[in-house]
Structure formats: structure tokens, C-alpha cells
């Protein structure tokens, strides 16, 4: 991983775009959607950029860029398309430790722009680290097809219940299990289908019942270490939901990276059976990954 992935809160913060053409317009649209206070500097501006200014979304300054223009900015985009000018913008930003991006010049940028799937509160960023923006866009197109447009509405619905769930379930693991059951259940589906009133009534009932987490469960997934991409979508989801991953030494990072960062990972050994039994008694979801070098595809079943 070449770049550290992060999402910046730039709402109301000053941001600078240098350039007045199509590349600058693309950056402006994203900055405006994020609520930034944007200034654009260029000798001339395309009609669409002038329209944004007329609507009060951005401030235009028709002049040459000066190095002190970057001072106080949260981030800077160099999007003029003129190499010498964009490089000067980058030098000025770096001199003040301000994040700067040069369009199509990742080597001179301190951050790169991902391809974005925007679902309101839920945003997915896909980056190739500048190596192949076209590939990142193709991956974005694949993800666009998988993610329903109602996910932003679902995220907002869940946020409205976060305080109530936190007050009802003091234990982190219990809250985690509650939310997993919610997102995998019919109430989340109701929200996605626009039936929020019914979902809200059901959610209130769940919170008021303050149910304890269900008993632990264990799944056995056969993996071909030589072909980790043959995991089924169901198996990937089970790995991603697991609290505990028990795995053979032959299982590589391509498979283990599907697990949550906070999931406990245990390499199979003499004491592993007792450890798994204890985790099950504690109500944990356990997935055991077993290497099958001759497996033609991954399969799953209860341990």
C-alpha cells in the first residue's frame, strides 16, 4: 500500500484550485459536494466554472497564481494543465505542509484522488496510487453495480439509533453483534426499499427488548491457497463478519485480509481447539480456514 487511505472533513474550510478548465471543474464539483469554501485562481474560466461562481458556490480570482495564495488552505489542487505552473503550486503548498494534488502527476502530489462511489453518508474510494486511474474507474463501475443507491439512507437511519443502542448495550461486543444482525436482517432491507416507518417501529422494538447476543457459531471454509480469488461471496462475507479466524499456516494474506482488523487471528495448533471452544461459549463467530490444495472452489459448512 503506497498511500495511507483517509477521509478529510473540509466542510467550511478554505480550499484552493488553480486552473480554469475541465480538470479544475472536476475537482470543484467534489469540493463543493463536501462543503468546502473554495477559491479558484486562473487567467480565464470555462463557462461551467463561471456558473458555479454565479450560484455562489465558489469564488473566482482571474489572475496569476502567487505562492502566498496557499497560506491557510486545508488542501490545494493544481489543475491548470500547465506543467510549470502546477509544479509551482505544488512547491508552494509543500513549503507550508499543505496537502496538494497535481492532476495526473501522482509523483509530485502529496495525496491522490480516488475513484469515488458516492452513496451519501457512505462513500467508497478506490485508488491505484496513481498507477492506473482507468483501472480504478473500472473497479468503481463494478462496485456501483453492487451497492444500492439507498445505502446512504440506511447509514443515516442507523446513525439516528446509535445513541439509543449505545445506551442500551454497554458492551462493545454486544453492540457490534446488534448492528451486524440489523444490517443482515429485514429491517435494513425495509430501509433500502423506502419503508422507513416500518423499519423504525421494528428497530425501537429491538432496542427496547435489549436482546443478548446469540450463541456463538462456527464455520469451516475450505480454501485453495493457490487460488484465493475462488472464494465465494458467501464465504467472503462470513470471513468479514467473524470475530475469530482460525487458519492453517498455508492461508495467505489474500484470504486473511477479508477479515475485520479487530478480528482475533489464531494459527492452527495444539491448543487451538480449546481456544475455539472458549470463544464459542463467549458467543463469538468463529471461522476456520482450512487449506485444500486440490480444492477446485471454496466451500463452507458448520464445524
Q: What is the pTM for the complete model shown?
A: 0.63
The CATH number assigned to the domain holding 71 equals 3.40.50.720
pLDDT of residue 215: 59
Do residue 192 and residue 277 come from a single domain?
Answer: no
Q: How far apart are the first and last CA of the chain?
A: 35
Angle, vertex CA 41, rays to CA 38 and CA 45, nearest 5? 100
Look at residue 134 and tell me if it is in a domain: no
Tens digit of each residue's pLDDT (9 = 90 or more) over 222-253: 898 888 888 887 788 888 888 889 888 888 88
239: containing domain: 217-302
Cα 290 from Cα 296, distance rounded (Å): 14
Q: Which residue has the cell 480454501?
A: 223
Tens digit of each residue's pLDDT (9 = 90 or more) over 254-303: 889 889 888 888 888 767 778 778 888 777 788 989 887 634 443 444 44
Number of domains in the chain: 3
Residues 6+ apart with CB under 8 A from 51: none
Do residue 184 and residue 271 come from a single domain?
Answer: no
Look at residue 278 and tell me if it is in a domain: yes
Closest CA to 72 of 89, 53, 91, 97: 97
Look at residue 253 and tell me if it is in a domain: yes
- The pLDDT profile of the chain, 303 residues, written as one tens digit per residue, is 778 888 999 999 999 999 999 999 999 999 999 999 999 999 999 999 999 999 998 999 999 999 999 999 999 999 999 999 999 999 999 999 999 999 888 889 999 988 888 888 888 899 887 778 888 888 888 888 777 788 888 999 999 999 999 998 888 878 888 888 788 778 888 898 889 999 999 888 888 877 554 557 788 898 988 888 888 877 888 888 888 898 888 888 888 988 988 888 888 876 777 877 888 877 778 898 988 763 444 344 444
C-alpha cell at position 138:
473500472
CA distances from 185 to 99, 188, 203 (A): 41, 6, 11
Amino acid at each position: 500500500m503506497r498511500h495511507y487511505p483517509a477521509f478529510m472533513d473540509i466542510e467550511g474550510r478554505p480550499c484552493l484550485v488553480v486552473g480554469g478548465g475541465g480538470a479544475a471543474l472536476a475537482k470543484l464539483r467534489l469540493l463543493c459536494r463536501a462543503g468546502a469554501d473554495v477559491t479558484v485562481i486562473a487567467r480565464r474560466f470555462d463557462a461551467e466554472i463561471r456558473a458555479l461562481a454565479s450560484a455562489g458556490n465558489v469564488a473566482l480570482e482571474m489572475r496569476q497564481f502567487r505562492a502566498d495564495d496557499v497560506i491557510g488552505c486545508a488542501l490545494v489542487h493544481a489543475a491548470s494543465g500547465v506543467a510549470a505552473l502546477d509544479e509551482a503550486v505544488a512547491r508552494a503548498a509543500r513549503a507550508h505542509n499543505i496537502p496538494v494534488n497535481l492532476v495526473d502527476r501522482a509523483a509530485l502530489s502529496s495525496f491522490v484522488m480516488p475513484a469515488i462511489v458516492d452513496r451519501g453518508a457512505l462513500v467508497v474510494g478506490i485508488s491505484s496510487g496513481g498507477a492506473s486511474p482507468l483501472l480504478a474507474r473500472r473497479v468503481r463501475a463494478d462496485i456501483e453495480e453492487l451497492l444500492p443507491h439507498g445505502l446512504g439512507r440506511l447509514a443515516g437511519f442507523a446513525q439516528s439509533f446509535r445513541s439509543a443502542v449505545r445506551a442500551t448495550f454497554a458492551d462493545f461486543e454486544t453492540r457490534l453483534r446488534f448492528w451486524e444482525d440489523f444490517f443482515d436482517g429485514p429491517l435494513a432491507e425495509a430501509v433500502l426499499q423506502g419503508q422507513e416507518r416500518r423499519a423504525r417501529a421494528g428497530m425501537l422494538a429491538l432496542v427496547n427488548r435489549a436482546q443478548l447476543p446469540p450463541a456463538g457459531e462456527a464455520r469451516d471454509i475450505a480454501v485453495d491457497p493457490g487460488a484465493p480469488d475462488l472464494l465465494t461471496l458467501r464465504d467472503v462475507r462470513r470471513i468479514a463478519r467473524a470475530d475469530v479466524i482460525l487458519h492453517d499456516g498455508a492461508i495467505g494474506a489474500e484470504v486473511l485480509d477479508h477479515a475485520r482488523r479487530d478480528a482475533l487471528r489464531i494459527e492452527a495448533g495444539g491448543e487451538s481447539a480449546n481456544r475455539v471452544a472458549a470463544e464459542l461459549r463467549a458467543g463469538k463467530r468463529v471461522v476456520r480456514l482450512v487449506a485444500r490444495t486440490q480444492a477446485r472452489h471454496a466451500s463452507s459448512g458448520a464445524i
